[in-house]
Structure 1
Amino acid sequence: MKLKSLLLGAVAASAMAPAAMAERGADGQVNIIYWQAPSIMNPYLSGGTKDIEAASLVIEPLGRYDPTGALVPYLAEEIPTVENGGVAADLTSITWKIKEGMKWSDGSALTAADVVFTAEYCMSPEGGCAQRAKFDGVTSVEALDDLTVKVTFGQPTPNPYGPFMGGQSPIIQKAQFENCVGAAASSCTDQNFYPIGTGPFVVTDFRPNDVISLEANQNYRDPAKPAFATVNFKGGGDATASGRAVLETGEYDYAWNLQLAPDVLAQMAAAGKGEPIAAFGTLVERIEMNLTNPSPDLPEGERSTVAAPHPFLSEEPVRRALSMAIDRELLVEVGYGQAGRATCNLVPAPALYASDNTDCLTQDIEGAKALLEGAGWTDTDGDGIRDKDGVKLSLLYQTSTNAVRQDFQALIKQWWSEIGVETELRNIDASVFFGGDPGSPDTFQKFYADVEMYANNFDGTDPQSYLSMYRCGNEPKPSSQWQGENINRFCSEEYDALLDELARTGELEKRGEIAKKLNDILTKETMTIVPLVDRGRVSARAMTLGGVQLNTWDSELWNAADWYRIKE
C-alpha cells in the first residue's frame, strides 16, 4: 500500500455508511490507542495534541472545522457572519447563539454563563492558559441572555473565530470549574481529569499517562448517538506498537499519529486488519531555539526565563548556522517518505499563507562554518568544539521518545559536529514532555534545554491565532504555572505590530502577505524557529470501524459521535 495515494486527497475516510442508525451504545466498545498518553483532560492546561484530542471526546466548542477546513456549528445554532448579523458590520464583535436544549452530561443546561466563564478562566493572567492566543485582542465576553454570547474585540477583527472554535477552545462548565480560576487551575485534579461535558462520552476512570475509560453520554443531544457504549482509550508505548495494534493484530480500532518510516507502515498494512488514513494539513516538525538560559546553575525562577538571555543562541548567526547545517531532504527520506515534504515554513498551508521561503532547503556545511568564524566562534583549544569568550558551542537537544525523532536527532547531531558544535541528546517520554505539569522539569513548555524538536498545528485554515503564540509576554514562566505558547521566549515589537495589523485586516490577499511576513520573521530573518518537515498526518483505522473522517484542521476525534461498527 502506498501512502502517496492516501495523501492526494484532503480527507481519507471510510466511505461506508451504516445500513440503519443503531440505537445509542449498540455497538459495544471502541478501542483507541495514542502512543503519546494523555495526562489531563483540560486543553486549557496543556498544549499537547494528545490532551486536546482526548478531551474533545468530552468537551466541545461552539463551532468546529470540518475535514475541508470549513467552519461548522456544534453547540451554536450557526456560524456567525456579517451576512447573518452574527458579526458586527464594523468587525469589532461576534455574537454566538447557543442551540436550545443543549445539556451537560450531568443533565444541567448549557448556558451563555458557561461560555463567559470559559473566557474568564482562560484569560486570567495567573492561570497560565495554554490556549491564551485564542483570545488575543478580546476585550470582553458577555452574556446577552441565557443562550446568547457577545465577544468584543479592541479593534476591527475580520477573523473573529479564535475563541470557542475548534478542539483547542472548548466550553467548560462554570459550576464545575468556578473555584479553579487563576493560580488554582492546576490544582483542581478532579475537574481536570473528569470534566463535565456536552460531547458524546463521559470519563469514568482517568489514569494519567496510561488509560482513560469512557462511556456514552446519556444526555448527548442526538438520542441515537454515540453508537459505542464505551471507549477504551489506551495511552503510552510507541508508534510502532500502536500501528501494529490496529494494522496487524486488530486489537485496537484507531491508532493516532503513526510517526513511522514509510516501509514499516506499508509492511504493517499488508496484514489487512486495518488501513492507514492520511492527509496533509499544517503539521510541521521543527526545532525551537531557546533564547533564554536553561542552565541548572541558575536559581529556579530565572532558568529559561527572559531574565536570563541564552549565552550563545541569543546570537542570530549561531542560530542560522545550525539551520544551514541540516539536510532536510534527507530527513524526509529517512523519516517520512511520501508522507513528508521539506519545508522552511512554520505555516506551510493553506497556499494563501505559505511563504515562498526556500532558503533553508539546501544544506550548506561550509557556509555554516564560515558564518560561525565570522561571528568570532573558533576552536581555540583544538577539541573540535567552537568557543568564544570562554563559552563553548555545546548544547542540549531534547525531544519526545520516538524512533523517527531519535533518527533525526542522530543525523542533526552529526551535522552540527561537522560545524564545531557539541550536542548532547535527550529524549523524554511523550506523555511527560507534552504533559504540561508545572512541577515537572521535562515539559516542552518549561524548556530546560537549548533546543527542542516537536510538531504541532492550528485549528482551521487561518493562522492568526497560531502566529499570535509568539507575541511578547506569552512565554511560559513561573507566574503562569509554566503555561504559554511562546516556547522560545521570542519578543519583537515589529512582530507584535504585524500581529495587530493582521487582526484588523480583512482582505484575504493582504492577510496572506502579512502572515507570510510573520512567518519569515520567525523562520528566515531571526531563525528563532527552524522548520524541518511538513508532515502528512498518518493514523490508522480498523477495517471494521466506520464513520472515520481524518481531520487535519481540528481534533482527529472531532466526529467520534458518528463512529460505528461495520457489520459483516
Structure 2
Amino acid sequence: MRRAPRFGTVVALLLAGCGEGGERAQQPEFIPDSMRHGGTAVVAYHVEPSSMNQFASVDNISLELQNFVLFTTLIRYDENLQPVPYLAERWDTAATSDGMALSFHLHDDVRWHDGRLTTAHDVKFTFERIKDPRTAFPNQSLLALYDSAAVQDSFTITFYLRRHPGFLDPWRRISPMPEHVLGNVAPSELGQHRFGSESPLGNGPFRFVEHRSGDRWVFEANPDFPQSLGGRPYLDRLVYRVIQESTTSLSELLAGEVDICLSVEPHQVAEIEANPTTRVLSFPSLSYAFIAWNGRRPLFQDARVRRALTLAINREQIVQTVRHGLGIPAKGPVPPFHWAYHEDLKPLPYDPDSARALLDSAGWVDRDGDGIRERDVIRASFELRTHPRADREDIMTLVQADLAKVGFEVQLRVQEAQSLRRDITSRERPFDAFVLGWTADFRLDDRILFACSQLDAPFQWASYCNPRVDELLDQVTRIEDRSQALPLWHEYQEILQWEQPFTFLYYEVRPNGVRERIRDVRMDARGDLVNVNEWWIEPAARRSVN
C-alpha cells in the first residue's frame, strides 16, 4: 500500500540534515577505499546499555548496539523507510486459509563470531523463545500476530501469521540469537544469562571485545563480515563509553577524547558549533518526553487530576528554556513522523485556572491553608524522579514550580539510571511519577504502554486500563487499510488526551556532537548508529584507544 503523501514529507524532514552537517564540515581530499580502514571511534552517552541479549533488552541504545554493531537483523529500512534485505537476502509471501505465510531466504555465508554459520534454526530458536511466556520478553506484542515457524532448509524459514500492517517490521528490530550458545538455557533464565553482559557472541560487522560495567563496551571490526552485507567496517574499533555527566561528555568531546556525544544538552549546541574541530548533527527523532503518573497511587487515579496536572505545566516554556527550541509541544503518544498523527487535535493549553477548577471538582482542596491540597487524609504530595541528565533535572524543577502554583507539593529525586530502570519496570511499581523519554516506532503498537493485559508488564508504568483503548489498539494493529484505521487512531489519541495517563511534554529534536575527524556519519530517525560500519577516520587523525 502506498504511503500517504504527508508521511513522505515528514520522512524527508526526519532524514534531512543528518549527513556531514551541511556546509560546516569541509570535505577532505579523496581518500581511496583501501586507505579508509583503521582507527578507533569513541561514542559517549549517559545510559549504560542494559544488555547485549535480545531476549532481555529494554532500552533503545542496547537495541542500536545489537542491531547495527554486534548482530544482523533479517531486514533493515533504507533512507525512504522501506524494508530492504540484510541477513535475509530476499523474502516472499503466500496467502493461507487464515492469514499468510512469510518466507525468509537467508544469506548462506554469515557466520557467528566463533565461526559457526548463522542458519534458519537460529531464527526459529529466537522466535520460539520470544513467544515463550517463560522468557518474559519485554515487547511480546512485536510478534503477537505471528503464530508459528517452520524451517524449510538450513537457510529458509517460513512464518505463519495473521495479516496485519507492518508485518515485516519486527524483523528490523529483532536480531536472531545463537542457538548453539543459548539453546540449552532455560527460557526463564535467558534474561539474566551472562551472555548479555560478559560474553555476547554476535554475527554482525563488529565483534565483542570487552565490557567494563558502568564504564564502556568495546567492539572490534569483524574481518569476515560478508561483502554482500557491507564487508569489514572501516573502523578497527568502536568504543561505547558511559558518561553520565553532560559537562564531562562535552569536555571530552572538545578535547578529542570522545568522537561522538549522543543527545548533547541543547544549551551545549552553540559551543560545539563554535569549535572548529566539532559539529552538531540534529534530526527530528522518534522520541518524546513524558511524565508517567503511577495510577496505583490514589493521587493519580482520577483522570481529572491527571488532566489538571498537564494543564498546570507550561510545556512551551520547557521546550524554549530547557530544549532551546529543540522540540515540539506534544499532544499524545503518536508523534508527527507517524502517518496516523492527529493533525486536528490541539494540545492541552497551559491553563492553571482550569487546572485549579478541575482539582476542586475532584475533591482536592486546601482545607488547612498550608498551600497544599488534600482529599480526606491524602495530601497532594508526591515524589518525581528522573536519571542524572541536566535537561531532565531542569524539567523537574520547572514542573515542581508550576505544580506548586496549583497546590501540589513535589519532591525531586535524581536516581542512577540502572536503579531507576529496575524500580519502574518492577511489578511492584515503587514510584509516584517520573520524567523520561520514550522512543516510538514506525510500526506503532502502544499496547505495551497502555493495554489492560500489560498491567504487570515492564512498561505499563501508568497502570492504566480502559477497555475501549484496548479495543482500538487491537484493531489498529490488524487493519491494513489506512483509511479505515485512521479514525480509530484518532479516537485513541483523543481518549488519551482526555485521560492523560502520561503528561506528554514534547516531541524531541535530537542533537548529537561529532568530531570532524569522523567521516561519513549519518544519523536519522532510524538511529544514531545506522551506518556505523561506514564511518571512517582520515589516516592522519587516527589514534588507538583502549
Which TM-score applies when normalising by structure 2? 0.88
1:46 and 2:51 correspond: no
C-alpha distance 90-121 of structure 1, shift in aligned 2 (>3 A): closer
1:218 and 2:190 correspond: no
Cα distance in 2 for partners of 1:503, 1:143 equals 27
Structure 1 match to 2:258: 252
Cα distance in 2 for partners of 1:8, 1:111 equals 35
Deviations 1:118-157 (A, max 9, x none): 122222213221222211222223322222222222x321
1:52-131 to 2 correspondence within 5 Å? 52-56=63-67, 57-78=69-90, 80=91, 85=93, 91-131=99-139
For 2:240, the aligned partner's letter is: F
Q: 440, 443, 450: which is aligned to 1:470?
A: 450
Cα distance in 1 for partners of 2:386, 2:427 equals 12
Are the equivalent residues in 2 in contact too, given 1:43–1:52 (CA < 8 A)?
yes
Deviations 1:497-542 (A, max 9, x none): 22222122111233333333333333x1321121111111211221
Q: 501, 519, 523: which is aligned to 2:475?
A: 501
**Which structure has more helix as a fraction of its residues?**
2
SS of residue paired to 2:219: strand
Deviations 1:269-291 (A, max 9, x none): 21121211111132101111211
Structure 1 match to 2:3: none
Cα distance in 1 for partners of 2:186, 2:495 equals 35
Per-residue deviation, 1:467: 4.9
Q: 477, 484, 487: which is aligned to 1:513?
A: 487
Are the equivalent residues in 2 in contact too, given 1:285–1:453 (CA < 8 A)?
yes
Per-residue deviation, 1:220: 1.4
SS of residue paired to 1:557: coil
Q: 362, 365, 372: which is aligned to 1:378?
A: 365
Per-residue deviation, 1:188: 0.9
1:563 and 2:535 correspond: yes
Deviations 1:170-214 (A, max 9, x none): 111111222344321233113444321121111111122211122
Cα distance in 1 for partners of 2:33, 2:65 equals 25
C-alpha distance 313-39 of structure 1, shift in aligned 2 (>3 A): same
Cα distance in 2 for partners of 1:257, 1:28 equals 24
Q: 199, 203, 207: which is aligned to 2:208?
A: 203
1:412 and 2:388 correspond: no
Deviations 1:35-70 (A, max 9, x none): 222242224323222222233310221112234422
Cα distance in 2 for partners of 1:493, 1:150 equals 34
1:186 and 2:197 correspond: no
C-alpha distance 359-324 of structure 1, shift in aligned 2 (>3 A): farther
Structure 1 match to 2:508: 535
Q: 288, 292, 306: which is aligned to 2:292?
A: 288
Cα distance in 2 for partners of 1:361, 1:318 equals 14
Cα distance in 1 for partners of 2:94, 2:226 equals 24
Are the equivalent residues in 1 in contact too, given 2:272–2:280 (CA < 8 A)?
no
Structure 1 match to 2:308: 321
1:213-362 to 2 correspondence within 5 Å? 213-222=218-227, 224-246=231-253, 248-258=254-264, 260-262=265-267, 264-292=268-296, 310-350=297-337, 352-356=339-343, 358-362=345-349
Cα distance in 2 for partners of 1:567, 1:68 equals 32
Are the equivalent residues in 2 in contact too, given 1:355–1:519 (CA < 8 A)?
yes
C-alpha distance 345-252 of structure 1, shift in aligned 2 (>3 A): same
Structure 2 match to 1:32: 43
Per-residue deviation, 1:90: 7.2
1:128-147 to 2 correspondence within 5 Å? 128-147=136-155
The number of residue pairs the alignment matches comes to 520
Cα distance in 2 for partners of 1:420, 1:164 equals 48
SS of residue paired to 1:227: coil
Q: 436, 440, 450: which is aligned to 1:454?
A: 436
Per-residue deviation, 1:236: 2.3
Per-residue deviation, 1:218: 3.2
C-alpha distance 179-384 of structure 1, shift in aligned 2 (>3 A): farther
Are the equivalent residues in 2 in contact too, given 1:290–1:489 (CA < 8 A)?
yes
C-alpha distance 384-443 of structure 1, shift in aligned 2 (>3 A): same
Which TM-score applies when normalising by structure 1? 0.85
SS of residue paired to 2:202: coil
C-alpha distance 228-70 of structure 1, shift in aligned 2 (>3 A): same
Cα distance in 2 for partners of 1:142, 1:513 equals 37
Cα distance in 2 for partners of 1:563, 1:146 equals 33
Are the equivalent residues in 1 in contact too, given 2:425–2:459 (CA < 8 A)?
no
Cα distance in 2 for partners of 1:130, 1:185 equals 12
Per-residue deviation, 1:238: 2.3
Are the equivalent residues in 2 in contact too, given 1:53–1:557 (CA < 8 A)?
yes
SS of residue paired to 2:255: coil
For 1:542, the aligned partner's letter is: R
C-alpha distance 442-517 of structure 1, shift in aligned 2 (>3 A): closer
Cα distance in 2 for partners of 1:505, 1:468 equals 18
C-alpha distance 311-361 of structure 1, shift in aligned 2 (>3 A): closer
Cα distance in 2 for partners of 1:7, 1:311 equals 42
Q: How much is the aligned-residue C-alpha RMSD, in angstroms?
A: 2.6
Are the equivalent residues in 2 in contact too, given 1:357–1:520 (CA < 8 A)?
no
Identity %: 23
Cα distance in 2 for partners of 1:374, 1:215 equals 61
Structure 2 match to 1:303: none
For 2:502, the aligned partner's letter is: I
C-alpha distance 381-344 of structure 1, shift in aligned 2 (>3 A): same
Structure 2 residues without counterparts, runs of 5 or longer: 1-11, 541-546
Deviations 1:413-437 (A, max 9, x none): 1111111111111112234434xxx
Structure 2 match to 1:172: 177
C-alpha distance 517-162 of structure 1, shift in aligned 2 (>3 A): farther
C-alpha distance 394-527 of structure 1, shift in aligned 2 (>3 A): same
Cα distance in 2 for partners of 1:173, 1:276 equals 38
